[in-house]
C-alpha cells in the first residue's frame, strides 16, 4: 500500500464513528456499510454499476436497461438514500441494489468477493482508492463512464499526496469514457489510459411522457394567467439570496415552482418562505400547483420532468454559490429557456457552448438572474428562440449512450476495445488543467 493510500485509509478509519452516527440518524444497513453485500448466486456474468445519487442513476438508466438484455447479474450501488430509492423504484425487480461500503480495505475487499464482478462501471466522478484497488485485484474490468473532471477539482488534485492517489485511481480503469475533450485531457494528465471522449449520457436520457403530460395539464389548468418560473436544484444558502433579489411586484406577477436539490430540506425552505409571508403549497402535503398561491414547493424526488413541462422559464440553482453548478441538460432537453449563475465548474464546456449558441443564459448574480427571468417571461420571442436553440443543441449531442453500450459489452466480452470518433465538444486549451 502506497503512503498516500495508507494515510487516506487512516483518515477513513477515523471517520467510522461519524459514519455510524449518520447511519443511526438516517437509517440503513450497517452490514452493507462494511461490505456485506448480497452475494451473487448464479454463474451468469456479474456487472456492478455504481451511481452515487439520482443524477448519476438517471444518466445510467439507458445503459442499465441494455445490460439487462444480456442476461447478466446486475448489482447497482448508491451512496445517497435518494439514489437508492430511485434505483429500487426503477430497477428493483431486475437487479440487486445496495449501498456502497465505506472505503476501507477490509470492507471493500469483502464487498468485491461477495458480488464477484466481471465488469465494474463507475459513473462520472467517483474515485475510491481502496474500492478500485480491490476491484482491479479481483480481475474485474473497470470502466469509468460519463466521466468528468472539472478544472477546479483538477487543480485541487495537484497537491502531492492527492496527486499520487489520483494517479493510482485513474490508472486502474481499463477504459474511461469522458464527457468532453477537456475532461479527457485532465484524466490523461492523471494517468488515464484508453480514454475516449464520447459525450454526455444525460443528452440521451428519455423524458418521462407521463410526467410531461401531467405538467402540461397543470399548466393549462392554472386559472390566474400567470407565467410560471421554475427554480430548480437550489442548495443551502441560495434560496435566501434569490428571495432577497425578488421584489414584491415580481412575486405578485409570476407563479414560482421551487424544486430544491435535496427535498429533505423542504421544511427548512418552507419555514424561510413563511417568514417572508408568502402563500405556499407543498407537494409533500398533497397540494397541487395553484396559481392563486405565490410559491409551490416541489419537495419530492423524481418529478423534474413534470416541473419542466409545467414552467415557462427555469432558473438552475447550485450555481449561485460555489457548488460547481447543476446539470442544465434536463431543462434544455425539455425545451425550456434556462438561466444559470456564475459557478458552473462541473459543466464549463457545455455552459460556454450553450451560452454562445443562445441556448442558455448565464448571469453573474442572483439579482441579475431574477431580472433575466423577468425579461424572458415577458418576451415570448426571446424565450421561444432560446427554447428552440436548447432542443437543437441537445439533439446534436445525442449518441453517447450507444457508444457507452458498445464499450461496456466489449469489456464484458473478450473483444478488442472499439474505436470511436471522439470529438464531441469544441474546447479551448487555455481552460484545461
**10 exposed, middle or buried (CB, 10 Å; 0-12, 13-18, 19+)?**
exposed
- Asked whether 129 and 8 are in contact (CB, 8 A), the reply is yes
> Rounded distance, CA 195 to CA 322, Å?
29
- Asked whether 2 and 163 are in contact (CB, 8 A), the reply is no
Active-site residue 56, yes or no? yes
Report how far apart, in Å, the C-alpha atoms of 27 and of each of 14, 20, 127, 429 are: 21, 10, 25, 46
Q: Which of 320, 317, 316 is closest to 332 using CA atoms?
A: 316
- Asked whether 227 and 312 are in contact (CB, 8 A), the reply is yes
141 forms beta bridges with 119
- Asked whether 205 and 189 are in contact (CB, 8 A), the reply is no
The active-site residue out of 56, 124, 238, 239 is: 56
- Residues 217, 219, 223, CA angle at the centre, nearest 5°? 110
Q: Are strands 119-123 and 96-99 parallel, antiparallel or unpaired?
A: unpaired
Backbone angles phi, psi at 46, to 5 degrees: -105, 125
Helix (H) or strand (E) holding 1: none
DSSP assignments along 65-82, one per residue: HHHHTTTPEEEEEESSHH
**186 exposed, middle or buried (CB, 10 Å; 0-12, 13-18, 19+)?**
buried
- Asked whether 198 and 400 are in contact (CB, 8 A), the reply is yes
What are 235's three cell numbers? 442548495
DSSP state of 38: P
Give exposure, 74-111, as e/b (b: 16+ Cβ within 10 Å).
Answer: bbbbbbbebbbbbbeebbeeebbbbbbbbbbbebbbbb
Q: Which residues are catalytic?
A: 56
Amino acid at each position: 500500500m502506497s503512503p498516500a493510500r495508507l494515510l487516506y485509509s487512516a483518515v477513513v478509519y477515523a471517520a467510522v464513528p461519524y459514519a455510524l452516527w449518520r447511519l443511526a440518524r438516517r437509517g440503513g444497513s450497517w452490514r452493507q456499510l462494511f461490505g456485506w453485500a448480497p452475494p451473487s448466486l448464479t454463474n451468469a456474468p456479474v456487472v456492478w454499476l455504481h451511481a452515487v445519487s439520482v443524477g448519476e442513476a438517471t444518466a445510467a438508466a439507458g445503459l442499465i436497461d441494455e445490460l439487462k438484455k444480456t442476461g447478466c447479474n446486475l448489482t447497482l450501488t448508491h451512496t445517497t438514500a435518494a439514489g437508492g430509492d430511485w434505483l429500487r423504484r426503477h430497477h428493483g425487480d431486475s437487479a440487486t441494489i445496495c449501498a456502497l461500503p465505506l472505503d476501507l480495505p477490509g470492507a471493500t475487499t469483502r464487498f468485491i468477493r461477495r458480488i464477484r464482478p466481471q465488469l465494474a462501471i463507475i459513473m462520472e466522478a467517483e474515485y475510491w482508492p481502496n474500492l478500485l484497488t480491490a476491484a482491479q485485484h479481483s480481475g474485474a474490468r473497470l470502466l469509468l463512464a460519463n466521466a468528468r473532471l472539472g478544472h477546479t477539482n483538477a487543480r485541487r488534485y495537484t497537491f502531492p499526496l492527492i496527486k499520487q492517489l489520483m494517479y493510482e485511481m485513474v490508472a486502474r480503469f481499463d477504459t474511461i469514457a469522458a464527457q468532453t475533450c477537456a475532461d479527457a485531457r485532465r484524466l490523461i494528465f492523471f494517468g488515464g489510459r484508453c480514454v475516449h471522449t464520447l459525450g454526455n449520457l444525460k443528452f440521451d436520457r428519455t423524458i418521462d411522457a407521463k410526467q410531461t403530460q401531467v405538467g402540461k395539464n397543470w399548466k393549462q389548468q392554472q386559472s390566474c394567467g400567470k407565467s410560471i418560473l421554475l427554480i430548480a436544484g437550489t442548495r443551502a444558502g441560495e434560496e435566501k439570496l434569490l428571495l432577497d433579489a425578488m421584489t414584491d411586484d415580481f412575486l405578485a406577477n409570476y407563479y414560482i415552482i421551487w424544486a430544491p436539490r435535496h427535498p429533505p430540506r423542504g421544511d427548512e425552505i418552507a419555514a424561510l418562505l413563511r417568514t417572508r409571508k408568502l402563500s405556499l403549497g407543498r407537494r409533500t402535503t398533497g397540494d397541487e400547483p395553484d396559481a392563486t398561491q405565490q410559491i409551490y414547493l416541489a419537495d419530492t424526488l423524481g418529478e423534474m420532468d413534470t416541473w419542466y413541462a409545467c414552467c415557462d422559464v427555469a432558473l438552475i440553482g447550485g450555481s449561485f454559490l460555489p457548488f460547481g453548478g447543476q446539470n442544465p441538460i434536463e431543462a434544455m432537453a425539455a425545451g425550456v429557456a434556462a438561466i444559470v449563475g456564475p459557478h458552473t465548474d462541473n459543466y464549463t464546456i457545455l455552459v460556454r457552448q450553450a451560452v454562445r449558441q443562445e441556448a442558455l443564459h448565464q448571469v453573474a448574480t442572483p439579482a441579475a438572474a431574477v431580472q433575466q427571468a423577468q425579461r424572458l417571461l415577458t418576451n415570448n420571442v426571446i424565450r421561444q428562440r432560446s427554447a428552440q436553440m436548447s432542443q437543437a443543441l441537445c439533439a446534436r449531442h445525442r449518441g453517447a449512450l450507444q457508444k457507452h453500450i458498445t464499450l461496456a459489452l466489449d469489456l464484458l466480452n473478450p473483444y478488442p476495445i472499439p474505436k470511436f470518433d471522439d470529438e464531441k465538444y469544441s474546447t479551448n486549451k487555455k481552460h484545461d488543467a
